Structure 1
Amino acid sequence: MINFILLAGHFTSFVPISAVLLYVLVKLVSSCRRGQVDGRGYAVLVTGCDSGFGHRLALGLDRRGFVVFAGCLSPEGVGAQSLARDGSSRMKLLKLDVTKDQDVQQAQKTVRKNLPEKGLWAVVNNAGISDWAEIEWSTTEDFRHMAEVNLFGSIRTAVAFLPLVRACRGRMVFVSSIFAFFNCLNMGAYSVSKRGLEAFADCLRVEMASFGVKVSIIQPGNFAGATNIQKIKTSSDIWEKLDDDKKLMFNRRYVELANDYFLSMCRTGFRSPDLVVDALLHSVTSTQPKSRYLLVSALDKFFFKLFPFLPAVLTDAVFSFSAMYARRGNMLYAK
């Protein structure tokens, strides 16, 4: 026992020194490994390049030497044509509606036939849509349409291109949202699609680790003002969609309040897409990409890091601090 105590004492005196040395060694090894992938000879497929994050990312990757296959919903549109004009000869436009099997399969064939010598390094699943509405204002078709683009579109694209990415031990990147875990009022359909997307990406990351393929999830906060993803509508657009029973439950004044509040929230977000585009570039080009990129203000980061671990009684209570939520309870029909 005495020998054990002496040995333990000797060990504990050694631990601080060994721990420091181990920490320094790990840092040195990490710094040696940290770097960027040389894009020359590699290709990247980016979906949703007509505008927004995808448009900016395609140009950024092009400048880094990658052959960029820019998937566009409208290849003859203004956004796609500006890519052709501003990009290098490596920029390749693709007609790609991620909700259509034939588009995805045709894009896969085109990419496969035109790959540079090193192959397809990454697929960035960026194509997406957004809308807002209370759940009772939405139809099953609204939920289905949102999921068809944001969830199944990414699954359809990822599965089609996985063999090419796996051959390069490359990357799969998915653009999600904080609404994948932040259950905010009026974002039900969008949250469902993004939560499903993250479940798919998490499962894929575990499976692809055996093949050396890295999977990253991008979680932007409020970037509605920096892109054109958010559908802008008037209170009349919402009101006319409601049937008589819902008009009784959700009176016109509340619909106007909700619409004004949502528009004001869009105006308070980030005005530039740079934070997201930089994260996307890092996920594709870094030798050590992150599994998740949470892209919110420094002030909000602590809250959103903590939010998934809080009990529901606390996460639901967050909304009680909103003046709009309090007015909602007073304005809605109650028996």
Structure 2
Amino acid sequence: MNALFFISQIIGTVSISAILILALAKLFSRRWRGQAEPARSRGYAVLVTGCDSGFGHHLARSLDLRGFVVFAGCLCPDGDGARSLTLQSSSNLKILKLDVTSDEDVQQAKKTVQENLPEKGLWAVVNNAGISHWAEIEWSTIEDFRSTVDVNLFGCIRTSIAFLPLVRASKGRMVYVSSVFAFFNCLNLGAYSVSKRGLEAFADCLRVEMASFGVKVSIIQPGNFCQATNILKLKTGSDIWEKLDSERRQIFSRQYIELATEYFLSTCRAGCEDAGPVVDAMLHAVTSARPKRRYLLVSAVDRVFFQLFPFLPTVLTDAVFSLSSMYATRTQMLHAK
């Protein structure tokens, strides 16, 4: 019995190794053979969600300058962001009312896109719309989690399912804006991390399925770009304190909440103010003959750390946080008599 089990394990290991070798051989053969250039921008359309501001706003303008027909999905089609896009872009850019949490909006957007498609069809969908909720988990409600996941995860799924037939027809691209916080957990971003980790799981599954149809799927993973977007909802310590019940007020002191709020906001203020690196990655994912599966957008100093982090044992990744003075202070304050 043991011998048979051992032999089966060896056979299984050999089979897995053979599969990996074949996959690598196929990958490198494709790379050495080269790939056809993607279709030129003329005659193709791209749909971008979340164009009211931030990355989506800049991307829509960049795609318009490159000759694409751009469907710019905006939550507020009559807002300042949408008006700015209209004024600064060509007639090839069309504003769509698009709340990604609304089935009706998504279906109406699909109808509008189909009625206005250029000759070559829909080349790409860039799922950029997103919101941020920051608070420790015990400061959050189920509604905080639900609203964040509804936009960041289900909004992308809803939009993807609707537009995949059009992208599949052109053998185009699906692009998803995630975050390093999809795999790097930290204080205050529980709901956001849950939504982005789910998004990456969805995109990874989709990439494997769409490979059969020639559709490429890319994930954009920005680091701290809070200063370059309007994704951060400003809160004060008072805002958080007023939402806590008496039980949690006994655990989390007002002093600690004020300290944690300032620490989080100061971290955000230290973020990159230039949206350029993220927009450039999006453009590469849409237009390159060989788009990357993932675009990790952090500083050169942070790159090695973030590339290694997902592969480290949990005991080590958890230990990383003990090196932070903020976590040490948190422990002291929450255990103080």
Task: Specify if TM > 0.5.
Answer: yes
Counterpart CA distance in 1 for 2:254 and 2:29 is 64
Q: Is the 8 A contact 1:279 1:293 kept in 2?
A: yes
Q: Indicate yes or no: 2:293 matched with 1:291.
A: yes
Q: For the structure 1 residues 34 and 168, does the alpha-carbon distance in structure 2 shift closer, same or farther, using more than 3 Å as the test?
A: closer
Q: CA RMSD in A?
A: 1.5
Out of 187, 190, 199, which is 1:188 matched to? 190
Match of 1:14 in 2: none
Partner AA of 2:222 in structure 1? P
Q: Is the 8 A contact 1:248 1:333 kept in 2?
A: no
Q: Is the 8 A contact 1:127 1:150 kept in 2?
A: yes
Q: For the structure 1 residues 25 and 169, does the alpha-carbon distance in structure 2 shift closer, same or farther, using more than 3 Å as the test?
A: closer
Kindly state the Cα deviation for residue 62 of structure 1 after the two structures are TM-superposed: 0.4
Out of 204, 208, 211, which is 2:213 matched to? 211
Q: Indicate yes or no: 2:227 matched with 1:232.
A: no
Secondary structure at the counterpart of residue 331 of structure 1: helix
Give the number of the structure whose alpha-carbon radius of gyration is greater.
1
Q: Is the 8 A contact 2:133 2:144 kept in 1?
A: no
What stretches of structure 2 of length at least 5 have no aligned partner? 1-27
Secondary structure at the counterpart of residue 90 of structure 2: coil
Q: Percent identity, please.
A: 72
CA deviations on 1:216-236 (whole Å, 9 max, x unpaired) are: 000000000111101111110
Counterpart CA distance in 2 for 1:107 and 1:25 is 40
CA deviations on 1:239-262 (whole Å, 9 max, x unpaired) are: 101111101000001000100000
**What is the 5 A alignment of 1:94-109?**
94-109=96-111
Match of 1:150 in 2: 152
Secondary structure at the counterpart of residue 92 of structure 1: strand
Secondary structure at the counterpart of residue 207 of structure 1: helix
CA deviations on 1:93-151 (whole Å, 9 max, x unpaired) are: 00000000000000000000100000000000000001211111111111111000000
Out of 49, 52, 56, which is 2:51 matched to? 49
Partner AA of 1:109 in structure 2? K
Counterpart CA distance in 1 for 2:206 and 2:179 is 18
Kindly state the Cα deviation for residue 29 of structure 1 after the two structures are TM-superposed: 4.3
Match of 1:84 in 2: 86
Out of 262, 271, 274, which is 1:272 matched to? 274
Out of 130, 135, 138, which is 2:137 matched to? 135
Match of 1:120 in 2: 122
Q: Indicate yes or no: 2:333 matched with 1:331.
A: yes
Kindly state the Cα deviation for residue 91 of structure 1 after the two structures are TM-superposed: 0.5
Kindly state the Cα deviation for residue 305 of structure 1 after the two structures are TM-superposed: 0.4
Partner AA of 2:287 in structure 1? T
Kindly state the Cα deviation for residue 25 of structure 1 after the two structures are TM-superposed: 9.6
* TM-score, length-scaled by structure 2: 0.89
**What is the 5 A alignment of 1:48-67?**
48-67=50-69
Q: Indicate yes or no: 2:86 matched with 1:72.
A: no
Kindly state the Cα deviation for residue 268 of structure 1 after the two structures are TM-superposed: 1.1
Q: For the structure 1 residues 246 and 121, does the alpha-carbon distance in structure 2 shift closer, same or farther, using more than 3 Å as the test?
A: same
Task: Give the number of aligned pairs.
Answer: 310
CA deviations on 1:242-285 (whole Å, 9 max, x unpaired) are: 11110100000100010000011001111101000000000001
Q: For the structure 1 residues 73 and 307, does the alpha-carbon distance in structure 2 shift closer, same or farther, using more than 3 Å as the test?
A: same
Partner AA of 1:319 in structure 2? F
Counterpart CA distance in 2 for 1:226 and 1:273 is 5
Q: Is the 8 A contact 1:251 1:333 kept in 2?
A: no
Counterpart CA distance in 2 for 1:241 and 1:248 is 13
Counterpart CA distance in 2 for 1:47 and 1:34 is 28
Counterpart CA distance in 1 for 2:243 and 2:335 is 18
Q: Is the 8 A contact 1:49 1:72 kept in 2?
A: yes
Kindly state the Cα deviation for residue 333 of structure 1 after the two structures are TM-superposed: 4.0
Match of 1:242 in 2: 244
Q: Is the 8 A contact 1:34 1:286 kept in 2?
A: no
* TM-score, length-scaled by structure 1: 0.90
Match of 2:112 in 1: 110
What stretches of structure 1 of length at least 5 have no aligned partner? 1-23
Q: Is the 8 A contact 1:49 1:127 kept in 2?
A: yes
